[in-house]
Amino acid sequence: MRSERAGLGLRIAAAGGLLYLHLPIAFILLYAFTTEDKSYQFPPPGLTLKWFAVAWNRQDIWDALWLSVEVALVATALAILLGTLAAAALWRARFFGRDAITLLIVLPIALPGIITGIALRSTFGLLDIPFSFWTIVTGHATFCIVVVYNNAIARLRRTSPSLLEAAMDLGADGFQTFRWVLLPNLATALLAGGMLAFALSFDEVIVTTFTAGQQTTLPIWMLSELVRPRQRPVTNVVAVFVIAVTFLPILLAYRLTRGTESMHGTGK
């Protein structure tokens, strides 16, 4: 693309930075196979596969996993609904207070998670709402809306309004236009937003500690293992699994929105 080439110093700095970003994950994988479960000794004294079997037979891990999946599914569904509606409204109209509403949508992730968490918790306390599945979902849906919104509005901005007018000129009513013109255009963006929302909810821990009460989602299970380790390699097995579960939706979301620049990472 360019005739000039990067200097050696710049290349080393860039490569070193990328290495810093990726190398640590490799240690998670390595320690999942170690035979030493009392410390983080390096290099591992021996390698074994037994921790995968141990993790498989632990009921507490399965319970935490299912709770996380259920929460993520419901929160994602809510976020897709609310985020799409907000994107559609802000796309089709200019009105007073529009910027304030945009700010309101972004705020739950712009402010540190602990503020969202404690704000929700003090409200649940004030209103005497007991902690439940739904209190976790409430928190998650709130900060997932923006992810869907970002993806949906980026796609809408690239959708020509004349497409909708053409459909209506051909005799389609508003619902038909939505079903046969707008939705097919929007589908991959919504899918990408939904997957990112799922990944975000699936490993959220900061807000969840404030809204979960006694319930244990997978990240909360992991946090308690980090603070008071029992079988350390089992935690690694779960961590490897979590990496796989979050990587796949992210890669898929990237493929779905490639070239449209709508998967805004800074929006997390």
Sites for other proteins among residues 142-171 (CB under 8 A): 142, 145, 167-168, 170-171
Check residue 21 for interaction with other proteins (CB under 8 A).
yes
Which of 87, 119, 73 is CA-nearest to residue 217?
Answer: 73
Check residue 22 for interaction with other proteins (CB under 8 A).
yes
Residue given tokens 């008071």 in the structure block: 228
- Sequence letter at residue 175: F
Question: 195 with 246: CB under 8 angstroms?
Answer: no
- Alpha carbon dihedral 249, 255, 256, 262, in 10-degree steps, equals 100
Q: Considering CB under 8 A, how many residues would be counted as binding other proteins?
A: 98
Residue from 54, 69, 172, 182 binding other proteins (CB under 8 A):
172
Residue from 62, 66, 133, 247 binding other proteins (CB under 8 A):
247
Residue 108: cis peptide before it, omega within 30 degrees of 0: no
Least distance (Å) between residue 76 CB and other proteins: 15
Least distance (Å) between residue 231 CB and other proteins: 14
Which of 234, 202, 245, 218 is CA-nearest to residue 57?
Answer: 234
Per-residue string for binding with other proteins, 83-122, x by CB under 8 A?
x-xx-xxx-xx-x-----x--xx-xx-xxxxxxx-xxxxx
In whole angstroms, what is the distance from residue 213 CA to residue 99 CA? 35
With CB under 8 A as the contact rule, which of the stretches 48-56, 62-70, 183-191, 222-230 interacts with other proteins? Answer: 222-230
What long-range pairs does 39-48 form, CB within 8 A, spacing at least 24? 39/232, 40/232
Nearest residue (CB) to other proteins, 158 versus 268: 268
Check residue 81 for interaction with other proteins (CB under 8 A).
yes
With CB under 8 A as the contact rule, which of the stretches 52-60, 67-75, 136-144, 154-162 interacts with other proteins? Answer: 136-144
Query: Which pair of structure tokens corresponds to residue 233?
Result: 């390699």
